[in-house]
Structure 1
Amino acid sequence: MKLLWRLGKEAIKYKTLYLIAIISTFVLTLINLAAPKILSSMTAIVEKGASKEASKQIFLLTVILIALYLLRILFRYLSNYLAHKAAWNLVEDLRVRVYEHIQEFSMNFFHDKQTGDLMSRVINDTATFELLYAHIIPEMVTNVVTVIGVMIILLTINVELALLTCIPIPLILFSGWVFATKIRPNFKVSQKALAELNAKLQDNFSGIHEIQAFGQEEYEQFQITEHAGHFTKAMLHALNLSAVFHPGVEFLSSAGTVIVVGIGGVLAFQGGLSVADIVAFLLYLSLFYTPISGLARLLEEVQQAYAGAERVMVILDTPTEIKNEKNAEELKDVKGSITFDSVDFSYEDNVSVLKDINFHCKPGQMIALVGPTGVGKTTLTQLISRFYDPANGRILIDGKDIKKVTLESLRSNIAPVLQDTFLFNGTIADNIGYANPTAGMDEIIAAAKAARIHDNIMDMPNQYETKVGERGMRLSGGQKQRIAIARAILRKAPIIILDEATASVDVETEREIQRAINDLAGTRTIVAIAHRLSTIQNADMILVLEEGKIVQCGTHNELINQDGLYRRLNLAQNKAAS
């Protein structure tokens, strides 16, 4: 009930459409209740014998019946279409809302989540709200009104026979309760299995190059078969319960008809019931038992909708860890100074990643982070953009604690170039312009020239309109990284973060990227992570990290003359290069 109440609040936006649909449903139900009464009246007229007056009455009733059936078309259309319109609009709203909420989560949330599972929640699970609002609720309303209306009419015809027809109802309701307790867990399992199948498919399509390169097609096909089989098994188990239940409900429903025919026939012979009344009873019984026998299908749909709605609500109820604090200020006129004040950070409890990080970077300076893999260099840069919050300490930009400023204004002043460059499946111009949607083509070209990628782009068949493919797979690693640098330049942010900007590129491409970085030096504050120490020799300050701590700090010349980790790393790289 709590979930239904919450869902009701979500749907209140479309109350007008629902109201018209509900009124149409009530009118439709009244028409359905009136039709058998008219047919039984016609039967009674015929039973009395032919006459001129009887012919007029039958003609009038026929016209009324035709009018009711025409009205039934109109109100069925209004009931069905408006309910579906409201429901699908609600699904659209929820899909956007769930996506928006997921988009606000910190990076911690995504560490143990599969993309396919999240996609399933946004697309498949939200679709069950349409099932609830366009099918289940309207049918339940119709069924309740129909059962009550038919019961009242049957009682007015013959109380004894009407009560006898109710004998199967407790048995039907009890079997429905038993069925509901067994079907709900199975639908939840099938929903989860479908999400896992989607997640596995998404992973495989993203990693198709690796699958083929390592010859793992047969293994991955086996994995997909396993996931698909798990979903099929869960769904078939639920359907098996349905297959057992439906015939039982139909038998119990048929028992009511047998009672009417048998006992009604006896009453007719005794003169206690007319043929017209028996006809009316039989016509109304189809209306009476249809919603009750349809209870099983409705219960299936309710459980399916509940399972999907529950998975959606889990996402919406998950709190956003990184969010604007109350009374957060806009970060304006940023010069670019960065200060870490006794910062500690860990992804998991009791597993420190960064310990007591302290440094100050002046506006326009280039600060470099070096050290072995896994010492927290990338984590440190992500703390600047508040993708995570430190466990202890403060991070300040221009002397302002970044927790006290809005996320939007903070991130608008930072332009990242990540090691794993991500390009969207669009044109080169689209990808460069992504950082600044209002930028014109001249600005995009200027940014590309500054990133030393313009000449490469002009050599391509469609130049700036060249499609890059999914994740930029049509471009080389060096081209992708320089496009990412151009995107960062176009952002015109006072702070640029370079996470391994020259990783996995050839020497010539490295020189081009390095020239682009040198052109930015002095005009922006640059925080650069580099394994190749040759790329950060001109940095104003180099921080050497080991086991999550800053163990050395200084310029290249200062550190190379110290007996420490930086000197050892430099000697090792020189030896490897020779």
Structure 2
Amino acid sequence: MQRLIGYAQPHRSLIGKAIACSILNKIFDLAPPVLIGMAVDVVVKQQDSLIAHLGVTDIFSQLVLLAFLSLIVWGLESVFQYTYQRLWRNLAQTIQHELRLDAYSHLQLLELAYFEDSSTGGLMSILSDDINQLERFLDIGANEILQIATSIITISAGFFIVAPNVAWITLIPIPFILWGSITFQGLLAPRYAEVREKVGLLNGQLANNLTGITTIKSFTAEDYEAKRIEAQSLGYQHSNQKAIAFSAAFVPLIRMLILFGFTGILLYGGKSAAAGELAVGTYSVLVFMTQRLLWPLTRLGNTLDQYQRAMASTTRVMNLLDTPIAMHSGDTPLPRSEVKGELVLNNVTFAYRNRPPVVENLCLHIPATKTIAIVGSTGSGKSTLVKLLLRLYEIQAGSITLDGIDIRQLKLKDLRHAIGLVSQDVFLFHGTVEENITYGTFDATTEEIVAAAKTAEAHEFIMQLPQGYDTIVGERGQKLSGGQQQRIAIARALLKDPPILILDEATSAVDNETEAAIQRSLEKITQNRTTIAIAHRLSTVRNADCIYVIEQGKLVEQGRHEELLEQQGIYAMLWRVQSGVK
């Protein structure tokens, strides 16, 4: 809660105005019963009424005055209600906006391992649903608490002023109601924490299934997945039912306490009015006000329900914000224009969490402006090297240097600005072809975009799309073929014009004709830049300046294509298998 208050600090002025409008709205909301009591007083006492003592003796004039006061009271009540609703809702929107941006910004700084251990749907639940729960409480709950407090203070003070002898009867239930509210809050907290956890699991399963809908359909697993979703949904339903069982009991129990106070003022106050100890108008005001004082306390149940949901959600958001950032940027700048592109891996060792090393004591030298190929069997650690070079993971031993500087000392943005990546797992964002090509190079001109597309052999098929470069590619580029997606990814990397280009199985999803076209442009693509080509198809890297062969995370062979064939080692064996030579 203390952390949440910190988000409210910059908006103290707005909060102050919202609080003032809520209080004034409630004060004017409590005025009509007083006006009714004064009207009864006019009818019963006529020229001896309270208003008559103020100088207005004519009965009709007194009623006209009351009607005029009613107009003012209702008008001001409406004005302050409009104002407080607008202020509280704007405040709720502002705080949830700032909290969501902070949570998302922090999430982007976390290392890749965090995302591999977390559910995408669960994270979406925190960033969306949990923050929205907080917004709902700020939108309604905060005002409810203020108005209930205003009612208790205002009506209690009024009771003791006009009828101190009977006021205590109405106020007796209040301490018990407040005690019951606090007790319920304690009982609800762990139940709503479980609810938020269950909805996170459900969202995670839904996100996973929607992403893999093609696989589900191809394996006719719709019934199986429907049952899995049913199980997660039932878990969410049952956790909600346990919370509802407690929250639903609050209002009936509070109503019994309210009945005690209402019955007391009805009997004891009525007896005093009949005995002439209490004015009839005052008695009618007390009866009305008792209801106005005690009945709103039943809404404490809904307010506390919203509060506990909001606090459970806030806890999840704060836990995300408290997740430590394991990988910190270095302080050494390296502008892209000054990057030569020499990379050296010296005794590098890396293992994924709770797994044996993927790379062990690996030493590689990648000269500037040269084309280097890294090949090996599946699982040999080739793609892991890409993640290490981009510093998506931290190595456990050894060092990686760029132009003689340890990459851990470099500013992360400078390091990643210097490297262009075309991955085998292409990711295109929902948007146009042009937006995907310019991703990361947002200020590119149309001429630069077209030039990059032509180099990547993508321009021709783009122009055949319905809207050309303005064609929407769909989520994850699903409206395009795998080869088309890969060529757009290559164009995106080329538009960035990085000093270092990494092609991680960059032609794995293209047909032979397209691969040949891309190979023809490789000479232009790799000119004056360091190129690292990670490949399974050896035919795509046979012209590399040097080929490194990696097996089980260790360097086993190196040399040019012809030299490796002469060695009759692992590379030669792979070449024979792929070329069909026995």
TM class, shorter-length: over 0.9
Which consecutive unaligned segments of at least 5 residues does structure 1 have? none
Structure 2 equivalent of residue 420 of structure 1? 425
Question: Which residue in the other structure is 1:32 paired with?
Answer: 29
- Matching residue of 1:331: 335
Deviation at 1:349?
A: 4.6
1:341-397: CA deviation from partner (whole Å, max 9, x where unpaired): 222212215632211122221111111111122222111111111111211222111
2:535 corresponds to which of 512, 525, 530: 530
CA distance in 2, matches of 1:167, 1:460: 76
- What is the aligned-residue identity percentage? 35
Deviation at 1:70, TM superposition (A): 0.5
Distance change >3 Å, CA 34–CA 475, structure 1 → 2: closer
What does residue 392 of structure 1 align with? 397
Residue number in structure 1 paired with 2:126: 121
Structure 1: distance between partners of 2:296 and 2:145:
8
Q: 1:87 touches 1:134 (CA, 8 Å); kept in 2? A: yes
Contact 2:265 2:287 in 1 (8 A): yes
262-271 or 457-466: which moved more? 457-466
CA distances 1:554-575 after superposition (whole Å, capped 9, x unpaired): 2222222224322332233233
Q: In the alignment, which residue of structure 2 is the partner of 1:144?
A: 149
Q: What displacement does 1:509 show?
A: 2.5
Residues in 1 aligned to 2:440 and 2:92: alpha-carbon distance in whole angstroms = 36
Distance change >3 Å, CA 452–CA 46, structure 1 → 2: same
- Out of 389, 407, 412, the position equivalent to 1:407 is 412
Equivalent of 2:492, from 468, 487, 490? 487
Tell me which residue corresponds to 1:10.
7
Write the distance in 1 (CA, Å) between the matches of 2:282 and 2:468.
83
**Aligned-partner Cα distance in 2 for 1:134–1:361:** 58
- Between 1:191-200 and 1:360-369, the stretch displaced more is 191-200
Structure 1 position 507 matched with structure 2 position 504: no
Give the CA deviation at 1:464.
Answer: 2.5
2:31 pairs with 1:43:
no
The one of 274, 283, 292 equivalent to 1:287 is 292
The total of aligned residue pairs comes to: 573
Match of 2:254 in 1: 249
Kindly provide the amino acid, as one letter, of the partner of residue 21 in structure 2: S
SS of the aligned residue for 1:351 comes to coil
**Offset of 1:75 from its aligned partner?**
0.7
In the TM superposition, what is the alpha-carbon distance from 1:25 to its structure 2 partner?
Answer: 1.5
Aligned position for 1:432: 437
Instruction: Give per-residue Cα distances to partners, 1:104-130, cap 9 Å, x unaligned.
Output: 222111112222221111111111222
Measured in 1, the distance between the counterparts of 2:197 and 2:332 equals: 39
Give the TM-score, by structure 1 length: 0.94
The answer to whether structure 1 residue 549 and structure 2 residue 554 are counterparts is yes
Distance 1:427 1:418 in 2: 20
In 2: Cα distance, 1:381 partner to 1:468 partner: 27
2:77 maps to which residue? 72
State the distance in 1 between where 2:160 and 2:456 align: 85
Q: 1:18 to 1:170 in 2, by over 3 A?
A: closer
Specify the SS of the correspondent of 1:294.
Answer: helix
TM superposition shift of 1:435: 3.6
Q: Which residue does the alignment assign to 2:281?
A: 276
After TM superposition, give the deviation of residue 50 of structure 1 in Å.
Answer: 5.9
CA distance in 2, matches of 1:324, 1:15: 35
Deviation at 1:173? 2.8
Give the conservation status (yes or no) of the 8 Å contact 1:331–1:405. Answer: no
Q: Decide whether aligned partners of structure 1 residues 462 and 292 sit closer, same or farther in structure 2, where only a CA change above 3 A counts.
A: closer
Residue in structure 1 matched with residue 228 of structure 2 by the alignment:
223
One-letter amino acid of the structure 2 residue matched with residue 11 of structure 1: A
Alpha carbon RMSD of aligned pairs, Å?
2.0
Question: Residue type matched to 1:251 in 2?
Answer: M
Q: 2:379 & 2:272 partners in 1: Cα distance?
A: 89
In 2: Cα distance, 1:461 partner to 1:79 partner: 50
Letter aligned with residue 340 of structure 1: L
Q: Distance in 2 between matches of 1:72 and 1:540?
A: 81
Q: Give how far 1:545 is off.
A: 1.6
Is residue 381–residue 527 contact of structure 1 (8 Å, CA) maintained in 2?
Answer: no
Report how far residue 525 of structure 1 moved.
Answer: 0.6
Whether 2:207 is the aligned partner of 1:202: answer yes
Question: Which residue of the partner structure matches residue 51 of structure 2?
Answer: none
Q: Which runs of 5+ in 2 are unaligned?
A: 49-56
Find the aligned partners of 2:365 and 2:512 in 1 and give their Cα distance. 32
CA distance in 2: counterparts of 1:428 and 1:266, whole angstroms: 83
Contact 1:253–1:289, Cα closer than 8 Å, also in 2 = yes
1:364-375 equivalences under 5 Å are: 364-375=369-380
CA distance in 2 between partners of 1:286 and 1:131 (Å): 27
Q: What does residue 477 of structure 1 align with?
A: 482
Whether the aligned pair in 1 keeps the contact of 2:156 and 2:171 (CA below 8 Å) is no
Q: Which letter maps to 1:485?
A: I
Moved more, 74-83 or 232-241: 232-241
Give me the whole-angstrom Cα distance separating, in 2, the residues matched to 1:363 and 1:522.
11
CA contact 2:486–2:510 (8 Å) conserved in 1 = no
Structure 1 residue 447 displacement after superposition: 0.9
Equivalent residue for 2:501? 496
**Post-superposition shift, 1:253?**
1.1
CA distance in 2, matches of 1:319, 1:330: 26
1:236 aligns with 2:241: yes
Alignment check: 8 A CA contact 1:366 1:522 kept: no
Quick check: 1:499–1:530 contact (8 Å CA) kept in 2? Answer: yes
Provide TM-score, normalisation by structure 2. Answer: 0.93
Helix, strand or coil: the match of 1:438? coil
Partner of 1:212: 217
Shift of 1:494: 0.7
Cα 1:146/1:549, change in 2 over 3 Å: same
For 1:464 and 1:165, locate their aligned partners in 2 and report how far apart those are by CA, in whole Å.
Answer: 73
Instruction: Give the match's secondary structure for 1:324.
Output: coil
Determine whether 1:155 maps to 2:160.
yes
- CA distance in 2 between partners of 1:463 and 1:26 (Å): 59
1:104 correspondence with 2:109:
yes
Deviation at 1:441, TM superposition (A): 1.6
293-302 or 95-104: bigger deviation = 95-104
**CA distance in 2: counterparts of 1:466 and 1:171, whole angstroms:** 65
CA contact (8 A) 1:436 1:490 kept: yes
Contact 1:501/1:513, CA 8 A, preserved across alignment: no
Partner Cα separation in structure 2 for residue 166 and residue 461 of structure 1: 74
531-540 or 268-277: bigger deviation = 268-277
Structure 1 contact 87–130 (Cα < 8 Å) conserved: yes
Distance (whole Å) between structure 1 residues aligned to residue 521 and residue 95 of structure 2: 48
> Which amino acid is 2:335 matched to?
L
**Cα contact 1:147–1:291 (8 A) shared by 2:** no
Secondary structure in 2 matching 1:335: coil
Deviation at 1:546, TM superposition (A): 1.7
Question: After alignment, is 258-267 or 136-145 more displaced?
Answer: 136-145
Partner of 2:521: 516
Q: Residue by residue, what CA displacement relative to the aligned partner does 1:260-311 show, whole Å, maximum 9, x if unpaired? A: 1111122223333222222121122122113322221111011011011111
The Cα offsets for residues 237-273 of structure 1, whole Å up to 9 and x where unpaired, read as 3223233322121122122110111111222233332
